[in-house]
Amino acid sequence: MNRIRSAAVRPLTAIATVASLALLAGCAGSVGGSDSDSDASAGEGFAYDASQDEIDDALADLEPVTLKFQPSAMSEKSILAPNGLDVKKAIEERSGGKITVDIVWGQAIASYADVDDALADGRVDLAFTLPSYTPAEYPAFDALGTAMSTLPSSPVASDLAANAAGVQAAWETPEVLAEFEDKNLVPLIPMLAAGGYSTMCSKPMTSLDDWKGKQLRVGSAAAGKQVTDLGATPVSLSFPETYEALQRGTVDCDLGQLAPNVEAGTFEVAPNIGVASDAGIARSAGAIAAGKKYSELPVAYQQVVFDSMSTTFSTMMEVVIGAKAMAVEQAKDNDGKVEPFDDDVQKQMAKYAKTLSDKTAKKAGVPDAPSTLNTAASDWQKSVTKLGYEDKGDFAYLDEWYPKDANYDELGTQLFEKAMADHRPE
């Protein structure tokens, strides 16, 4: 496959930081429409490793199309913008310009609460979605996101392995795929776990005693349960309101990913970052899904879009991990500290994460989901090591040792070939 990259990805330090959001098929065979679904999806496709000339031949007689894509970023100046721009470039160049991708920034067509319906009725064609926001509608998906809290945590290697494992485990869990199908959606990447969770606090919070009585803004029910178990109080608050709440002392910390907080300027009012080194916090994971129009496209067009998911994954990891380095730098600039949680916190966090993960999976009817995820994570940790991706220092010094030109294309390609290729439209 000819990988397409956007200059917008590197270096991350050149990307302007503006206010943004909190952060993103069948159980076997291929995704997308079948010959029996629509005559439009009939026709010949091309091999995954086809040359551009072969792809051009396959698309030669097809009419040009435009797809509306709603990524996670608020604007093209966002730190998350490459998650949209790189996919647009990959699709347009691989299609020889026959597919035009119209990016819709800032959830302008459909909010996360409405995006599933917008995909199904054709208002949006491709989108970043947040199934974890509606766990009752995506219980199997939520079970995998909760199980993420049981995986090892590190700024680079473990996060890469966890995200690759999430993609693989989602494809290997029929119940997860069925949840998308029930909403007339086509999963392109059925789980994007993005970055691990950290605490961002006005004052350092590393020991178990530090947690007692604190109020933390959380983004999921599972994270709220973990916070409660540690003696703190979870607060449900929209992300745009978090900065002011921290500034006024209404909440003591935000619990979430570092990337959106880089944009929001959170470290001006909450410069103390707490990180896990073993088990962590359940993630509010996202996904990339397609809707009505994609299902009706000729198979060759579906393949062009699906093949771009390798780029989607590697770009996301470059953005997310690069943003961690920026977060560490901003925390230090605001006289903050970056510290791992004390052993007492870590042990209690790990114990409860396992209990919560097993309970959530059993309730969702996917009791094997945690073991599926853990097996995949172990395998991907080995692959990440072989590819030379490693943590070259402590989280607290990430801004000093993390390469600004980090590139995860090889991992994206391996993930596609191992976990996604069998689901390619055909």
Judged against a pLDDT cut of 70, whether residue 426 lies above it is answered with: yes
pLDDT in tens, 274-291: 998 877 888 888 999 999
Judged against a pLDDT cut of 80, whether residue 305 lies above it is answered with: yes
Question: How far is it, in rounded angstroms, from Cα 209 to Cα 66?
Answer: 55
Domains of the chain, CATH where assigned? 12-199+278-423 (3.40.190.170)
Mean pLDDT on 38-63: 83
| SS3 state at 82 | helix
Return the closest-CA partner of residue 262 out of 7, 86, 12.
Answer: 12
Look at 244 and 221; give whichever has higher pLDDT.
Answer: 244
Mean pLDDT on 90-104: 97
User: pLDDT grade, residue 403 (50/70/90)?
Assistant: very high
Q: Strand (E) positions, 23-79?
A: 65-70
pLDDT of residue 21: 35
Judged against a pLDDT cut of 70, whether residue 9 lies above it is answered with: no
pLDDT of residue 274: 96
User: pLDDT grade, residue 82 (50/70/90)?
Assistant: very high
Look at 177 and 10; give whichever has higher pLDDT.
Answer: 177
pLDDT of residue 17: 32
Mean pLDDT on 111-124: 95
pLDDT of residue 58: 96
Question: How far is it, in rounded angstroms, from Cα 315 to Cα 378?
Answer: 22
User: pLDDT grade, residue 231 (50/70/90)?
Assistant: very high
Query: Taking the mean position of all CA atoms in its chain, how far away is CA 49?
Result: 26
Helix (H) or strand (E) holding 322: helix 309-333
pLDDT of residue 19: 32
User: pLDDT grade, residue 325 (50/70/90)?
Assistant: very high
* Average pLDDT of the chain to the nearest whole number: 89
pLDDT of residue 394: 94
Instruction: Give burial (CB, 10 Å; 0-12/13-18/19+) of 262.
Output: buried
Instruction: Give burial (CB, 10 Å; 0-12/13-18/19+) of 217.
Output: buried
pLDDT in tens, 172-213: 999 999 999 999 999 999 999 888 899 999 999 999 999 999
Cβ-based neighbour number of residue 390 at 10 Å: 12
Question: How far is it, in rounded angstroms, from Cα 59 to Cα 10?
Answer: 31
pLDDT of residue 43: 61
pTM: 0.88
pLDDT in tens, 137-186: 999 999 999 999 999 889 999 999 999 999 999 999 999 999 999 999 99
Least confident interval from 41-55, 95-109, 204-218, 336-350: 41-55
pLDDT of residue 263: 86
DSSP 380-397: HHHHHHHTT----S-GGG
The pairing of beta strand 338-340 with beta strand 272-275? parallel
DSSP code of residue 419: I
Look at 350 and 38; give whichever has higher pLDDT.
Answer: 350
pLDDT in tens, 351-365: 999 999 999 999 999
Mean pLDDT on 72-78: 90
Judged against a pLDDT cut of 70, whether residue 35 lies above it is answered with: no
pLDDT of residue 12: 36
